[in-house]
Structure 1
Amino acid sequence: MENKAHALAAGLFLLLLGLALAASVAWFQGDRTARVRYTVVARSGVPGLNLKAPVKLRGVEVGWVDSIGFDPEDPRQILVGIVVDAAAPVAATTHAQLGLQGVTGLSFVSLEEPATSAPLQRAQPGARLALKPTLLDRLAESGPLLLAGFAETAERLNKLLSDDNRDQLSRTLARLDQTAADTSRLMAALQPAARELPSLLKNADGTAQQATAALREIQTLAADGRALAQDLRARAAVLDRLDAAAQQVQATSRNLELALVGDTPQRTRSVLADVSAASRSIERAAHELGEQPQSLLFGRGAQPPGPGEAGFADRLKTGAAK
């Protein structure tokens, strides 16, 4: 009986010890962290996403996927329930994306926030977060358009690389090669002229200076010419006044001669004759100065021969020929 009692006591002790160990393990392994539930709304598929898949916020794991199912109100939407640590800073503007876990093909939920400097406004528990497509999803959606564009580009390349175009391209390349060779020869021919160019520029500079000096001299001569022209105009005005005075003297002498003809004494007639001759001389001198005003500066030119003088017959012939 005593052996049975000892065995029963040992069994009870072991059972109680096991229960105590199990309770201790449950106590230490129990998760007492406060959690918040959110719902991720996906308009497209969620490939590779499973239950208990991790949920990460900016690369830090903050929860897991609790449920996956279709929206009963809109079957085109997929509702993904996630459980997130209450201390995680999930903002009202946070959105979700699917990320790949290495090369396994499995996905996890990545919570992302737009870059902003505004104060953090936490999302309410149970709020719905939009699932935005990733770069691969956008590429998959635009894949048919890309393929169509590639096909059109390939068709245009085939047309561009036709036999005729290839022949024309070959001819164009040959012409370019010939043009390059001609350009090289031209550059080689221009090198001597280029080496002489500095000296030519120096000569051109000297020529320009000489031209400037010549222009200054021309300006000086032009100023002298203008002064000479003014002097000649003044002398011409004097000659005009002299001519007018001569004509007036001649008219006066004629009037006196007419008035005194018949009963004028011989001495008065001689005086009048002298006055008339002087007036005619003044008129002739004024006429000659009017025809040759340069005689005031350069002297009187040679007079043409008169009747009986040598050269008069040649003068008459020349005048008849004209």
Structure 2
Amino acid sequence: MENKAHALAAGLFLLLLGIALAACVFWFQGDHTARTHYTVVARSGVPGLNLKAPVKLRGVEVGWVDSIGFDPDDPRQILVGITVDATAPVSATTHAQLGLQGVTGLSFVSLEEADAQAALTRAPAGARIALKPTLLDRLAESGPLLLAGFAETAGRLNALLSDDNRAQLQRTLAKLEQTATDTSRLMAALQPSAQQLPTVLKDADTTAQRASAALREIETLAVDGRALAADLRARTGVLDRMDAAAQQVQTTSRHLELALVGDTPQRTRPLVSDLSAASRSIERAAHDLGEQPQSLLFGRGARPPGPGERGFEERLKAAAP
């Protein structure tokens, strides 16, 4: 009986020990982290995405994919169920994209924030997150358009590089080469002139200084000319007054001569004649100065030839219209 009791005790001990070990294993292998479920809605395909594929939030793994299937309400949509750590900052503006895991071809779900600077508003449990196409997806969708554009560009290049256009291009290149050669020759010919350019500029500067001095002299001469004209006008006024005085003297002498010619003694008549001659001389001088006032400064000019004198006919021809 004692042997049976010992055997029963040993069996119970082993059973309890196995249960304890199993409980420990289950405890250490179990996941006690709080999780939240979301649904990723994909309008396009999800190639390479499998169950238990990781879910990453800005590069940090926060969960996994637990279901993939079509939307029963809209079969064109694919619903991907994900389980995410409840502490992960999934906001209402978070969107999903598919990323590649190295070179295996397998995909994972990458959660990204639309605006990382905005205030964080957590998405409610079970919320739907839109799956946006990646750059490769957009390139794949626009691939036919790109191929059509490349084909059109190739056709235009073929038309541009026709035989006639290539011949015209060769002629244009030949002309450009000739132009470059002519330009080189022209530059070589202009090089001596360019070397003399500083001297020419210096001479031009000197000429400009001389021209400025000449302009100042001309301005001075203009001022002197205005002063000379004013002086001549003053002298002309004096000459007019002299002319009037001479006429008055001549008139007086004539009256005196007429008054004395009958009863003047013989010795006073020469005096009267001299007075008359002097008055006529003064009148002629005043008349000449009135016609040529510049004779006071530059001397009396030559009188024009009269009838019968040399040069009179040429004078008439020059004066004729």
Question: TM-score range, shorter-chain basis?
Answer: 0.7 to 0.9
Residue in 1 that maps onto 2:60: 60
Question: How many corresponding residue pairs?
Answer: 312
SS in 2 for 1:266: coil
For 1:99 and 1:320, how far apart are their aligned partners in 2?
118
Mark the runs of 5 or more structure 2 residues left unpaired by the alignment. Answer: 317-321
Whether 2:189 is the aligned partner of 1:189: answer yes
How far 1:288 moved relative to its partner? 0.5
Residue 319 of structure 2 is matched in structure 1 by none
Find out whether 1:169 has 2:162 as its counterpart.
no
Aligned to 1:95: 95
Q: CA deviation at 1:265?
A: 4.3
Q: Which residue in the other structure is 1:266 paired with?
A: 264
Mark the CA change 1:281 to 1:101 in structure 2 (over 3 Å): closer, same or farther: same
* 1:230 matched to 2:223: no
- Determine the structure 2 residue equivalent to 1:319: 312
User: Are the aligned partners of 2:93 and 2:115 in contact in 1 as well (CA < 8 Å)?
Assistant: no
Stretch of structure 1 that moved more, 50-59 or 117-126: 117-126
Match of 1:85 in 2: 85
Partner of 2:142: 142
CA drift of 1:169 comes to 0.7
Counterparts of 2:183 and 2:98, CA distance in 1? 62
Task: Give me the TM-score of the superposition, normalised by structure 2.
Answer: 0.84
Q: CA deviation at 1:244?
A: 3.9
Taking structure 1 as the reference length, the TM-score comes to 0.84
Give the Å deviation of 1:40: 1.1
* In structure 1, C-alpha distance between the alignment counterparts of 2:262 and 2:21, rounded to whole Å: 184
Evaluate the alpha carbon distance shift between residue 186 and residue 80 of structure 1 in structure 2; reply closer, same or farther with a 3 A threshold: same
Q: What secondary structure is seen at the aligned counterpart in 2 of 1:151? A: helix
- Give the Å deviation of 1:247: 4.4
CA distance in 2, matches of 1:176, 1:301: 72
Does 1:119 find its partner at 2:112? no
Give the aligned residue type for 2:148: A
Letter of the structure 2 residue corresponding to residue 237 of structure 1? G
In the alignment, the residues of structure 2 paired with residue 185 and residue 304 of structure 1 have an alpha-carbon distance, to the nearest angstrom, of 65
Greater Cα shift, 223-232 or 98-107: 223-232
Secondary structure in structure 2 of the residue aligned to 1:76: coil
* 1:170-207 CA-partner distances (Å, limit 9, x unpaired): 11111111111111222222222222222222233223
Deviation at 1:35, TM superposition (A): 0.5
| Greater shift in the superposed pair: 13-22 or 40-49 | 13-22
Aligned to 2:151: 151
Partner SS state of residue 239, structure 1: helix
Residue 80 (structure 1) shift: 1.4
Spell out, residue by residue over 1:261-296, the C-alpha distance to the aligned partner (whole angstroms, 9 max, x if none): 7997437x9688766555433332221101221221
- Please give the alpha-carbon distance, in whole angstroms, between the structure 2 residues aligned to 1:182 and 1:318: 64
Between the two proteins, what is the percent identity of the paired residues?
78
Q: Which amino acid aligns with 1:149?
A: G
Query: Per-residue CA shift, 1:236-263, capped at 9, x if unaligned?
Result: 2222333344445556777x579x7799
Question: Are the structure 2 counterparts of residues 319 and 193 from structure 1 closer, same or farther at C-alpha, using a change threshold of 3 Å?
Answer: closer
Greater displacement, 90-99 / 222-231: 222-231
Q: CA deviation at 1:47?
A: 1.4
- C-alpha offsets along residues 111-149 of structure 1, whole Å, 9 cap, x if unaligned? 001344232221111111111110001111111111111
Q: Aligned ranges for residues 182-261 of structure 1 at < 5 Å? A: 182-247=182-247, 256=255
Change (3 A) 1:216 1:10: same
Instruction: Confirm or deny that 1:44 pairs with 2:44.
Output: yes
Distance verdict in 2 for CA 1:164–1:2, change over 3 Å: farther
How many Å separate the matches in 2 of 1:63 and 1:304?
Answer: 128
CA separation in 1, counterparts of 2:65 and 2:225? 110
Go from structure 1 to structure 2 and tell me whether the alpha carbon gap of 1:124 and 1:248 turns closer, same or farther (over 3 Å shift).
farther
**More displaced, 73-82 or 287-296?**
73-82
CA distance in 2, matches of 1:78, 1:177: 65
Distance 1:247 1:90 in 2: 128
